[in-house]
């Protein structure tokens, strides 16, 4: 869970409790990821995973990004900060791939690594997971040599891992059923799973494991800011898919920013960098209306507890 929620303490606590904790590499410099990996290793000798963003995808339309940035002038004035540079980058891909070769499990989102990169990781002893949101993406990842797939339904919190064309909106159960029929790999089901009964349901539908994000946002060890934690169970909020914060589709709790910028174009990572100072300023002010409050559809059941207790609760 890239951004504030992911901490070495959370990943280590989940793994120590018998789950498979993941450290997010996304958005961070590779040097910080290396330091955080050391912290996870110092805290547990159990296996854990590292999650990375795969660069690439269709380049955004510069005119659409420019127009969207102009529409954010009021936000910059509201939070008293300039927009960030709309730069393109690859999130430190090469350096993070080196780090991925040192961990037991590496998972990828936003794309499928090249077959040669997957083969190199597997030779290094790293199990490779690729996130998919459509059966065609599952076939692509299987052909590229992935060991297993994270099957992410549209219910899921955070960014869609999609790398095919267009927005796919398959809910977890039909997606899992279609992917199960398309490929013969272990599947980790993700999206809206908040209880042990939910875990049992995806196991019955053909998954080998469940992947939970939102359930761990209020964990004691998570870095989730207080205003974000409070918003998770605010009865006035639902979730929606939005490109307003990053230029990539992601599911978050409804707030002022999301609702006022429903027409945001594709434009990752230019829009992510553009809105970053706004989101930081909103977070510093404790204002959930300008923060990216990523959450899945099961968010009302999120509750604070030590990560080990949450793992226990979710274990069928």
Ligand X SMILES: Cc1cc2nc3c(=O)[nH]c(=O)nc-3n(C[C@H](O)[C@H](O)[C@H](O)COP(=O)(O)O)c2cc1C
Residues that bind ligand X (CB under 6 A): 1-3, 5, 24, 26, 51, 109, 131, 152, 155-158, 161, 190-193, 211-215, 294-296, 298
Nearest approach in angstroms of CB 67 to ligand X is 27
Residue with smaller CB distance to ligand X, 5 or 145 = 5
Residue with smaller CB distance to ligand X, 69 or 129 = 129
Nearest approach in angstroms of CB 52 to ligand X is 8
Residue with smaller CB distance to ligand X, 66 or 195 = 195
Nearest approach in angstroms of CB 127 to ligand X is 15
Nearest approach in angstroms of CB 297 to ligand X is 6
Residue with smaller CB distance to ligand X, 54 or 69 = 54
Residue with smaller CB distance to ligand X, 152 or 274 = 152
DSSP letters of the chain? -TTTT--HHHHHHHHHTTS--EEE-TTS-HHHHHHHHHHHHHH--S--EEEEEPP-SPPP-HHHHHHHHHHTHHHHHHHT-PPPP-----TTHHHHHHHHTTSSEEEEESS---HHHHHHHHHTT-EEEEEESSHHHHHHHHHHT-SEEEEE-TT-SEE----SSS-----HHHHHHHHHHH--S-EEEESS--SHHHHHHHHHTT-SEEE-SGGGTTBTTS---HHHHHHHT-TT--EEEE-TTTSS-EEEE--HHHHHTTT----TTHHHHHHHHHHHHHHHTT-GGGS--B--TTGGG---B-HHHHHHHH--
Nearest approach in angstroms of CB 222 to ligand X is 9
């Amino acid at each position: 869970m890239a951004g504030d929620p992911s901490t070495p303490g959370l990943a280590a606590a989940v793994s120590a409790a018998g789950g498979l904790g993941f450290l997010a590499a996304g958005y961070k410099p590779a040097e910080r990821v290396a330091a955080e990996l050391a912290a996870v290793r110092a805290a547990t000798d159990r296996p854990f995973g590292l999650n990375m963003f795969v660069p690439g995808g269709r380049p955004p339309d510069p005119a659409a990004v420019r127009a969207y940035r102009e529409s954010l002038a009021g936000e910059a004035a509201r939070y008293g900060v300039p927009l960030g540079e709309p730069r393109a980058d690859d999130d430190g891909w090469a350096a993070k791939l080196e780090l991925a070769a040192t961990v037991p499990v590496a998972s990828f989102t936003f794309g499928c690594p090249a077959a040669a990169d997957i083969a190199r990781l597997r030779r290094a002893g790293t199990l490779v997971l690729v996130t998919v949101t459509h059966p065609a993406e599952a076939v692509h990842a299987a052909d590229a040599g992935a060991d297993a797939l994270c099957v992410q339904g549209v219910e899921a919190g955070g960014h869609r891992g999609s790398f095919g064309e267009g927005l796919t909106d398959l809910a977890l159960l039909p997606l899992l059923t279609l992917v199960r029929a398309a490929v013969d790999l272990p599947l980790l089901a993700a999206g809206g799973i908040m209880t042990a009964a939910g875990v049992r349901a995806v196991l019955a539908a053909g998954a080998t494991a469940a992947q939970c994000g939102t359930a761990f946002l209020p964990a004691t060890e998570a870095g989730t800011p207080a205003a974000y934690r409070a918003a998770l169970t605010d009865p006035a909020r639902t979730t929606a898919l939005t490109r307003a914060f990053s230029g990539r589709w992601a599911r978050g709790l409804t707030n002022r920013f999301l609702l006022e910028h429903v027409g945001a174009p594709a434009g990752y990572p230019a829009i992510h960098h553009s809105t970053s100072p706004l989101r930081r300023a909103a977070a510093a002010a404790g204002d959930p209306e300008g923060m990216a409050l990523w959450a899945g559809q099961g968010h009302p059941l999120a509750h604070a507890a030590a990560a080990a207790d949450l793992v226990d609760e979710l274990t069928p």
